Structure 1
Amino acid sequence: MERSLINLLKTCAVSPSLGRSAMAVHGSAIKSGFITRPSMQNRIVVAYVKCSLMVCARSVFDEMPQRNAVVESAMISGYSRCKKFDEARQLFEGSKEPSVVCCNAMISMYVHNDREVEGLNLLRDLYSMGVKPNEFTLSVVLLGCSNLEALEEGKQIHAFVTRGGFSLDLAVSNSLISFYARCGRMEHASFVFYHMPDKDVYSWTAMVTGYAQNGRTGDAARLFDVMPQRNVVSWNAMICGYQEQEDDEIAMEMYVRMLRKGQLPTSSTLSVILKCCVCLLQFGKALQVHDQAIKLGISSNVFVGSAIVDMYAKFGCMVDSQKAFDEILEQNVVSYSALASGYAQNGDILVAADLFNKMPEKNLVAWNFMIAGYVHNGLQIEALDMFSDMIQANVQPNQFTLSSILNACASPQASRNGRKVHGYAIKVGFDFYTTIGNSLITMYAEQEDIVSVLAVFKRMQQYDVVSWTAMVSAYVKNNRIHEARQIFETMPEKNLISWNTMIGGYLQIRNSSETDEEKYLALSGSSADALELFCKMKEFEIKPDHFTYNCVLVACASIGTLQQTRSIHTATITRGFDTDIGVANALINAYGKCGNSRDAEHVFNSLVNPDPVSWNTMITGYSQNGQGHKALQIFHRMCESGVQPNHVTFISVLSACSHAGEVEKGWELFESMSRDYGIERGQDHYACMVDLLGRAGQLCEAERLINDMPIRPDTVVWGALLGACKTYRDVDIARRVAKNILNHESINASVYVTMANIFADAGFWDDAAELRVRMREKQLLRSPGCSWIEIHNRKHSFLAGDKSHPEWNIVRMMLSTLYIHIKEDNYILDVG
């Protein structure tokens, strides 16, 4: 009978769901009288503990006349699992003679519940309690040191291991390897590893994992390849290591290799591989991994299921993400966070907030994703309110929290809140963290406070590649491109983002020059610098991404360099970026700006689903290259394909009508904007119509259109009419137009120059002379003419009267030769 009851209790201890059965056996033990036997009492307590019935276990435990170390440690472990740490500590302190087993249970409780310091303190008290630590004690304490990255304390324990003769113990040696690896001291881990008399698969795996986690994937791979035996943890360590180093392609290759070796993946494997699929934008591969998880029966596992939820959310498939979430058997804060974060990142912040409120428990990660979600959706006030609620809920923020909040304070309007958060970071000692410093640099840069940017940078104790890149970006945002380049050149390490920031920075320069020619020269110079940096980037074997190609194609477009556009086009095909819609649109624009409509057509026609930008860019390209009729044709194709034109489309198509001389068509499109498409006409649309009417010689109609505008016309609109007045020598309308422009901009030099030319063409020499006198009085300088030519992929720019070109003497000789040929052809210079 007693043996049967004990066997039943063993069964109850194996399955936590058999609590009622344990109670029934307990009742039978009382009725049969076996309850008084110590062995029966021990078994009942252990069974209750395993079933998490701590009240029942404690009632039996308190009635026991004799308690051994096994039952006491079981009670401590039970309280630990139930998060009842005070009860565990009281029980331990009430023990008459604490054993090493009980001490191990207490230290393990502390270490596994983020209370490592208390565990280390208990270790120090062992000898005063008359308890000698054993191998398990040392292994658990080393885990605690690993979690704290407490290098000095761990070294002291290592010295104790050596003195106490524990260095031959396999588990202790493996714990030492893991400890040193976690602290980034792989040379110490290697010393322990190579001095072990015996090694098991865990020893090898600990070393491989250590190398991988410390970014030394090459060393990890070399050790992995010579391992006498591998397990799934070894494979996972390599895959995870590559993924953490952003070598997602190699991680995927390692995964395929693992499958070929016959090793089945675990939930950890598939979770990491799904991250790789997201980073590589391989949606098809991600679907295959999901199918594999289903076949293995682990898709409803909370870890894999959460990774699947996150994967679908990252690809914008929120219906599938929700479905994957619903299929998870035991949803927890991780799965809730993955789904809610997905909704937030996809713009459904209200659904995300509702999920957050429904969470059975909220940890720091949950608060962080919600704050980040509000920031992502531009709801800075809500993000700050959430941060305040988090503090009131006694949840301590971490570096990620403060980084998100600082992003919420990046606008100049939020500078006061930003300084408050900065003050909080200093108060809690977070300002020394590199991640916080990086966020502060970004925040102050957005607020154009370069003084604070420098102060933060100088205060930081450590810099990473993000810190340096943030400084480059800060100077770019403050239009100090030369200082940005200096910092870029001195960076100890550069990554793709660093190069992209500097290349993109050249295209963001805000030039203060007054004339179009000077602005062009500044822009062409910065574009040339961007292209030069792109070539240098390839020398450093940094692989460009879609952002890089977009930037350099914009540079090519701005200076019209066809050969480099073609070269970059070839590179995009080689790298597989030619199918990226953004890159394709940049190619169409570059070819259009270079006057090569044929290649622009080729890129456009290769697109499976051109977006509105694609259509607009093609229309603009045709229009700018004098192919107005083709522009109108592609506009009609756009409408027939079901793509809705926008305000940019009509600017391009009205400009096309102007170049093609299609006045009636232009009026028809202009009238249809608000009537058929609900698009409000802006200054640019009116300027196009004025230009169209002006080119057709309908100057009075153009002036009437301006006077009837529902909005106040700007200088661009009036300028379009003034240009037409010059063409048709209409002095009367030109006088009225010039008066209106000068009412807006009294020092507009181009108006004086144009009016002087109009007067001269009409023979009004006195008026022309008077204007030139007024220009001198106002110190208005006429901008010199500008021309440029591309030779061997290099753009050469010239200003009238400029002799600064390094090959000016050759240019002067060529001009002299040209003048001679011009005179021989009886050309008479118009000096009027």
Structure 2
Amino acid sequence: MRKLQYLSVIKKKAAETSKSKLEHLLCNATGEFDVVSANKSLTFYSQSGDLQHAREVFDTMPQRSIVTWNAMIAAYSNWNMISEAFQFITFMHSSNVQFNDVTFSTSLRVCGRALSSMSGKLIHVLVLKSGHLFFKLVGSALLYMYAKCCEIEDGKLMFNELHHRNEFLWSSMLLCYVECNLMAEAYYVFVKMPKRSVVDWTAMISGYAKSPNGYRNALKLFEMMRMDGEAVPNEFTLDCVLRVCCAMGHFSIGCAVHCFLVKSGYEHECSRSGALISFYCSCGSMHDAERLYEQMDKNQSLSASNELIGGHLKSGDIQKAESIFRNMPEKDAASYNIMIKGYAMVSRLSDSEMVFLDLPITTLSSLNTMISAYANSGEIGKALELFEAAKGEKDPITWNSMISGYVRNHEYENAIRLYSAMHRLSVCKTSSTYSSVIHACASLGTLKQGQLIHAHSEKTPYSSDVHVATALIDMYSKCGSFEDSREVFRCLTSPNVATWTAMINGYAHHGLGSDAISAFKLMLHSGIKPNAATLVAVLSACVHSGDTEMGVRLFRWMSQEYGISSSVEHVTRLVDLLGREGMVHEAEKVVRKMGIVADRILVASLMNAGRFPTEETTRMVRREMGFKKDPGFSWIC
């Protein structure tokens, strides 16, 4: 109790005293400097986020132990002040202070968070010289650093050199592969592990849950875990499984997991974490989500509040989202970020700006969110201002937000230019980086630039990423190198609906309608359900191949078989198909029956298909269907 009172006195008086007086506060009752008390006060300041006073304590100390230095590095790292943490590591090394296993571990994790493999490798050299490699803290931190920096081969080499592998190192290697989304390699390590804890099972389930292609594997592994009995699922395991159920829309399985949570006594933890509320929101059961939320202690349900706000925003109820946000007793950066995104989604950018300005502390994640909000709203200039204001604090998400913003606003040259700067500065790229910039290349038709970026991606764990592959298939197809599209598709082990759609589009774009329809049938045979974009692509293929029967049948099946409502794009393709086959009246009936507001492309398709005998007939059809002629847009076919 006395120590706590002593520390509270330090905190209270530090704000109103000079460094000379602070020196006095760090002395014991006999007037001698006490390094232990000083370290505790430094830690106290850093944990409360008062790094200015923590640094003042450090600078005032006449003597410092290794604990003092480690506490300062950890403080900067924990509060995401990465550049300051690096400066302190350099300062410590230049002061000839001997690093211990905690110093190495913390420093390597700083390198990992900064995605700086060069700095990490320099510290790895110091580790080898010091003989600390076999400390479990250091070994796992090295694997963490290499995983974060996507230097998986170096991590694997280091792991293989360690002959005395304990459970901690096995788990670290497993997490290394999971972090890089190399689930086949992760599963190999998982099977070879002499003993698996609940953390290892959860890591594997979580890894599969990160990829749409891994959802089924995540559920299978969860079932294996329950049958095996080696480890009992905890709240984190069940949290992952619930999020998989969210993504797959498996309402019945999710409800069964909820029952398991109740029986296991984890319902409160998973409700508080927001997983249960996220599940019910994703499945459209807002009533159940609200009922759960009402049962919670609002002072202990920050994540749950954030999930419910997100659920209301997705369902279009911004008033309820605002109400929860305003009434939250406590908010974190995620709370503000969700509202910034939500306002931007409904074109209320000024409200997004107000929320951003209300942030107690502007975090990098909030900055990234605001950059995306500006870009999504077409304010690319303001997005660039924020991007440049980040200076040395940018992370890959900052770069990705700006690149995707340029692409969304059709500034493709700027997107490629920014990617080149990112590559030159050795900033770690992600799946989002490659897919966005490849899309820019596709839009510009710059095949050589696209091939260069493809070569860059081949050197990373994202070479087989389904999102990158989809972008590559689309790019090669649009740039006239369709054989390369086929090759990328052939190399994929688990293509998703977007990949199949890109491939079908490619066939249709190159006039290979029959091949496109064959690809569609293969997709159905593999158990993948089409989406609205897939059916647009297949209808386009039917137009190119003249397969009227297939096109009409598919159009009729859309709602019954696949639960997809017809859009203007679908009707336009069908009208084009019927018109080319001389079935003008059938095309006209389709448009009348749909009762949709026709856009310019649909009108053009019907008029071009019509081959109406006279101009008067064309005008009559136009008037009857409520089509209004645009200036300079002729109805004469």
Structure 1 length as normaliser, TM-score? 0.56
The residue number in structure 2 matching 1:297 is: 265
SS of 2:237's equivalent? Answer: helix
Deviation string, structure 1 residues 31-50 (Cα, Å, up to 9, x no partner): xxxxxxxxxxxxx558x79x
The residue number in structure 2 matching 1:308 is: 276
CA distance in 2, matches of 1:704, 1:248: 52
CA deviation after TM superposition for structure 1 residue 230, in Å: 1.7
- Return the match for 2:174 from 205, 208, 232: 208
Aligned letter for 1:647?
V
For the pair 1:334 / 2:306, whether they are aligned, the reply is no
The residue number in structure 2 matching 1:474 is: 440
The residue number in structure 1 matching 2:364 is: 397
CA distance in 1, matches of 2:521, 2:578: 23
For the pair 1:607 / 2:561, whether they are aligned, the reply is yes
Aligned letter for 2:526?
R
Distance verdict in 2 for CA 1:121–1:202, change over 3 Å = same
For the pair 1:254 / 2:221, whether they are aligned, the reply is yes
SS of 2:636's equivalent? Answer: helix
For the pair 1:564 / 2:515, whether they are aligned, the reply is yes
Distance verdict in 2 for CA 1:303–1:189, change over 3 Å = farther
CA distance in 2, matches of 1:89, 1:707: 78
For the pair 1:376 / 2:345, whether they are aligned, the reply is yes
CA deviation after TM superposition for structure 1 residue 135, in Å: 6.3
Q: Which runs of structure 2 are paired with 1:413-432 in the superposition (5 Å)?
A: 414=378, 417-429=379-391
Deviation string, structure 1 residues 751-773 (Cα, Å, up to 9, x no partner): xxxxxxxxxxxxxxxxxxxxxxx
Q: Which runs of structure 2 are paired with 1:425-504 in the superposition (5 Å)?
A: 425-429=387-391, 435-449=397-411, 452-460=414-422, 461=424, 462=426, 464=429, 466-477=432-443, 480-481=444-445, 483=446, 485-490=447-452, 491-492=454-455, 493=457, 495-501=465-471
CA distance in 1, matches of 2:528, 2:63: 71
- Return the match for 2:188 from 222, 229, 232: 222
The residue number in structure 2 matching 1:408 is: 374
Higher deviation after alignment, 282-291 or 86-95: 86-95
Distance verdict in 2 for CA 1:140–1:394, change over 3 Å = closer
Distance verdict in 2 for CA 1:648–1:551, change over 3 Å = farther
Distance verdict in 2 for CA 1:556–1:283, change over 3 Å = farther
Distance verdict in 2 for CA 1:370–1:120, change over 3 Å = same
**Cα contact 2:442–2:450 (8 A) shared by 1:** no
Distance verdict in 2 for CA 1:244–1:72, change over 3 Å = same
Distance verdict in 2 for CA 1:407–1:169, change over 3 Å = closer
**Cα contact 1:217–1:242 (8 A) shared by 2:** yes
**Cα contact 1:384–1:408 (8 A) shared by 2:** no
CA distance in 2, matches of 1:469, 1:139: 34
CA distance in 2, matches of 1:104, 1:533: 52
Higher deviation after alignment, 497-506 or 117-126: 117-126
CA distance in 1, matches of 2:10, 2:515: 80
SS of 1:409's equivalent? Answer: helix
Aligned letter for 2:450?
F
**Cα contact 1:684–1:717 (8 A) shared by 2:** no
For the pair 1:575 / 2:542, whether they are aligned, the reply is no
Deviation string, structure 1 residues 557-595 (Cα, Å, up to 9, x no partner): 788866335412321221223564554565467557755
CA distance in 1, matches of 2:119, 2:513: 64
CA deviation after TM superposition for structure 1 residue 229, in Å: 1.8
Deviation string, structure 1 residues 111-162 (Cα, Å, up to 9, x no partner): 6555685799599789999x99876677666666665667788778777777
CA deviation after TM superposition for structure 1 residue 466, in Å: 4.4
CA distance in 1, matches of 2:507, 2:127: 66
CA deviation after TM superposition for structure 1 residue 705, in Å: 9.0
For the pair 1:359 / 2:328, whether they are aligned, the reply is yes
CA distance in 2, matches of 1:501, 1:157: 37
SS of 1:336's equivalent? Answer: helix
Aligned letter for 2:449?
I
Aligned letter for 2:333?
L
For the pair 1:236 / 2:198, whether they are aligned, the reply is no
CA distance in 2, matches of 1:582, 1:238: 32
CA distance in 2, matches of 1:244, 1:203: 23
CA deviation after TM superposition for structure 1 residue 288, in Å: 3.8
Aligned letter for 1:719?
I
CA deviation after TM superposition for structure 1 residue 710, in Å: 10
CA distance in 2, matches of 1:196, 1:352: 52
CA distance in 2, matches of 1:165, 1:211: 26
Q: Which segments of 5 or more consecutive residues in structure 2 lack a partner in the other structure?
A: 13-24, 458-462
The residue number in structure 2 matching 1:14 is: none
**Cα contact 2:344–2:376 (8 A) shared by 1:** no
CA distance in 2, matches of 1:554, 1:624: 20
CA distance in 2, matches of 1:610, 1:121: 58
**Cα contact 1:344–1:373 (8 A) shared by 2:** yes
User: Larger C-alpha radius of gyration, 1 or 2?
Assistant: 1
SS of 1:235's equivalent? Answer: helix
CA deviation after TM superposition for structure 1 residue 408, in Å: 2.8
SS of 1:301's equivalent? Answer: helix
Alignment RMSD, CA only?
5.6
- Return the match for 1:346 from 310, 315, 319: 315
SS of 1:607's equivalent? Answer: helix
CA distance in 1, matches of 2:73, 2:300: 30
Residue correspondences, number: 602
Higher RCO, Cα 8 Å, sep 6+: 2
Distance verdict in 2 for CA 1:108–1:302, change over 3 Å = farther
- Percent of aligned positions that are identical: 19
CA deviation after TM superposition for structure 1 residue 718, in Å: 5.0
CA distance in 1, matches of 2:346, 2:223: 38
CA distance in 2, matches of 1:162, 1:172: 11
